[in-house]
Structure 1
């Protein structure tokens, strides 16, 4: 369906409507989709035949193009690892895993289509870019067998499995304080989600306990999904340095994407990491061990989160458990080569 949608220049939900003979699209669009499907050798299985060969299945549902979750989300390191563990757990429990993605631009229309066509037993929703209102709307429409992964809103009667963002960022802040940093900077995502807000609170709490604060001039903001150096960050740092001010001796970044991008940007500006500026990230994606120096970061237990989400969903399906759960998985701090004591402390 994704291939046909790309070839026809329409959304995946439009392809679904065309293949299922439903209203909601023009006759021209329907004819184009069906013609491309025929040319591509696609033949839809009759529903009766599909029912006969049905196996237990779960759906992994993603809302893309939000500034955090890209259309090619399966290529983003954090989500790639998460999906791998979810697939393994589903297989071990006798379930197949189906994938569905929805463009945020067509939220209302595609949720309606999903509600009509969904034939899986339950849904794991990647919810880190969704608001409480959107999650509740999805839950009400797609049924009771839903687990939201990588987000948590305590006020909603929905299953959630998330990481302990506060704890992880607190660990990062405590580390920088322990090794002697007092002038500390913060690079935030310019796209805000619940996870980043919780990390900000945790990091600030660690500094506050040591009597430290982050100077407003030491706060920068960049795109959160680029692993390359960013021209915007380069401009911010250049302007800061040209004003005659000293850079902070350490910087915390809200995710590893930002941290790796920051390290590359600093290097291009002739600033050495960690000799001049220590850098700490969050997530421990596989790329954090490839970059030089290796990135000090917060390890997220992706495997544990994935297993809990699958198990919680299957329990809901097979045992009819009605009480919802909120599960937060603690983090682990990983010290590598991108952080060290500031020069004065080292001397």
Structure 2
């Protein structure tokens, strides 16, 4: 391993991560290390153990560059926390965990490689995958468990967030705190989770008889660095339009909400005195931004536990029917929202 590290120009730790299929190194570095290992005939204990794929090995499968899931997905806050909890649950159960990150553009080749190196179970990160893709993967990998999305018509195990509930909670919170001029900031990339959040929030608005005008429905890229510029421009146009500016915004994820807080601040708005902001996910960064973000907490630890426990159950008996688990959310009130006085709107 030391020789491979020297040849690849990386640390010994990076070599270990690459050889064991774990996140923490980029795809180009991983490929370079694996090619060198093959060239020089490296057959260390980690590779031998992975090849054995015994009955206590679980694979975490990710297709990168598929919508929200980027090559460095393990550095994205939501996925980073989710992976941590899956690792902990596997450790508690005495299972080995293997990571496979495949590029969506090389789907056929990638899924074939997974089929040729079988493990006793697969958890698929389904965040950005559609029903047709998941159905095809499930046909090729029996007993598949799909995490972070759900398609009711597919006979597949799913573990998802109760997205509808979380956004409904956010909507009722805002209307209950006197807000009537409310904006909605969506992700430009549409996935199952965001669709359910929009449905829940709009149902809360309908119950409170609050109508969101088209000018207050915005859409931006769902990542922090790419969303802030476009969002600032759209908020500037809304501010200059002469229409009443929203007293609150709901954002489909915390990344967008943090961008909104920064963009609104650059436009001269004070949070929450002028505008309230709510996010969704409760990533760790939501407590670092100033003011701390009011958001919807997602039970990532419970989602991970359900996924691994479904794998555990399948080791003893393959169920005749699949299971779909929906994990409820918890509304977290922090400093980015305030109650409006009756005359404030």
TM-score (norm 2): 0.87
State the match for 1:27 in structure 2.
none
Distance 1:173 1:268 in 2: 26
State the match for 2:75 in structure 1.
75
Q: 1:24-43 alignment to 2 at 5 Å?
A: 33=35, 36-37=36-37, 42-43=42-43
1:50 CA drift (Å): 6.5
Residue 228 of structure 1 contacts residue 260 of structure 1 at CA under 8 Å; is this kept in 2?
no
1:5 CA drift (Å): 5.8
Among 279, 291, 295, which residue is 2:293 paired with? 295
State the match for 1:92 in structure 2.
92
3-state DSSP class of the match of 1:230? helix
Q: Which moved more, 1:51-60 or 1:318-327?
A: 51-60
RMSD: 2.6
Q: 1:1-347 alignment to 2 at 5 Å?
A: 1=18, 6-7=28-29, 33=35, 36-37=36-37, 42-43=42-43, 54=54, 56-117=56-117, 119-143=118-142, 145-226=143-224, 230-342=228-340, 344-345=342-343
1:48 CA drift (Å): 8.2
1:317 CA drift (Å): 2.2
Distance 1:344 1:4 in 2: 53
1:320 CA drift (Å): 2.2
Residue 253 of structure 2 contacts residue 280 of structure 2 at CA under 8 Å; is this kept in 1?
yes
Corresponding residue pairs, total: 323
Distance 1:188 1:86 in 2: 28
Q: Which moved more, 1:236-245 or 1:214-223?
A: 236-245
Distance 2:249 2:199 in 1: 16
TM-score (norm 1): 0.86
1:37 CA drift (Å): 2.8
In structure 2, do the counterparts of structure 1 residues 6 and 182 end up closer, same or farther at CA, with 3 Å as the change threshold? same
Q: What whole-Å deviation, never above 9, does each CA across 1:67-110 have from its counterpart, x for those lacking one? A: 31111111111111111111111111110111011111111221
Deviating above 4 A after TM superposition, structure 1's stretches of 4 or more consecutive aligned residues are 1-5, 7-10, 38-41, 44-55, 343-347
List runs of 5+ in structure 2 lacking aligned partners.
Answer: 1-17
Q: What whole-Å deviation, never above 9, does each CA across 1:15-40 have from its counterpart, x for those lacking one? A: 6xxxxxxxxxxxxxxxxx3xx33678
Distance 2:279 2:40 in 1: 45
